Structure 1
Amino acid sequence: MTDLRFVGVDLAWGQRGVTGLAVLDASGCLLDVTVQQTDDDILTWLTRWTTGPCFVAFDAPIVVTNATGHRPCERLISQYYGRFGASCHAANTTNPSFANGSRALRLIEALNLSLDPKAARRAAEVYPHPAIVTLFNLPRILQYKAKPGRDFPHLHQEMLRLATYVESLVNASPPLLVKTNPAWQHLRQALAQATRKADLKRVEDALDSVVCAYIAAYATTHPTQVRYFGTPTTGQILAPVTPAQAARYDQTLFTELL
């Protein structure tokens, strides 16, 4: 399907945060990458790219039913990727962001997308950290997220590393072609000229959205090299896996069925 679009959404949990948005065509060319804030602006941008066949990958909880603690899918991600530093934040209905359903699910329903992996217009929850570790064979996550103890030079260097890794996917399977896109060039310029942590934030959201879009493309091209961690009723996170992780996860599922 040459008109298939792969869309990445680095969605803020609440309305005040900035959301990164990116879209790839079926050949892996970056068509656009931007940031928006309000639901209306996000939906306006998404509608442009999701009228036909599409796979929209959300870096945000979609299904949240647990009152407290972590969702089962989050615990599984921590089990498989925690040693790389890629554990999840807890999403539960005690958090006001999920008390009346998730923002991601409201957007999915507004766009009439399906959570069925076989649907022509579908959506899934993803998480960039495990994908980055697996796709680039890293021993630890890239520390480009602002956290206590991480100063600007460290964050800047790590974000530059991520941008370089993204550009290196030009020869990957599937390829990711970003360098000629004006929006990517603007992102790269903003990253090169950043002098404060605040300067990095919008770049971070946009970068994450490109990674999310690539996860969707990767899962479509290599369906045997990804797994849905969790269940449809309690929440699922789609992530690339190594052969060893796939065998371990499949064996666990097989054992549970016995």
Structure 2
Amino acid sequence: MSAFQVNLNPLKEPLGFIKVLEWFASIFAFATCGGFKGKTEIQVSCPKLGNNKTVTATFGYPFRLNQASFHTPSDVSVCNVTWKNHVLIGDYSSSAQFYVTFAVFVFLYCIAALLLYVGYTNLYRESRKLPMIDFIVTLVATFLWLVSASAWAKALTDIKIATGHSIIKELEPCRNPQIQCQFISVTSMGSLNVSVIFGFLNMILWGGNAWFVYKETSLHNPSNMSASHSQGGVPPPSGI
């Protein structure tokens, strides 16, 4: 194996430059999703008991909403209801965790690929296996970005519904005619929208980079080799 030797020229080429963009995009993808914390608030009142309080449910990554219970100031009961026994509806952890975990793996792969491009440039370009492995990983990553981003986009839509006005209909205490529930607010999910955008942006980056990785493989090079042989010419057999 050749020694590690820094060569920054690949970073000036599409192969390395796009890999840097993929590295940054993967960071934004998992950071905007995995770091989210939010809450939804409803106002509960019951005229007969004279109660009028705000109850809050906090939620965040990995978005197991069915474990996000409501709480009240000082954890007191409101309208004779123990609100901590009531939770939001839905579990969207599978889509969220798949998306974030895949983005982290992509982040790590980009680091490894950049080290290979920059430190072992000759080894990469002289090898038949390494570019082919890189090409296959690129195709698989493009497909998985499409799958994970689509699944996360659908889950995010459901999360917005589950934490919005519809919770009034889902909460059992709010179906009691003696209890009045009014939706107040929910934390803005702008960062989660950004995470979806970066998911599809990553898909575009990886799909576009597939061509430049393909050009490094033996699937593309033989055509150039055969062309050079035909230009150089093979000496014809001597005549009799």
TM-score, structure 2 as length reference: 0.24
- Give the structure with higher Rg (CA): 2
- Structure with greater helix percent: 2
TM-score, structure 1 as length reference: 0.23
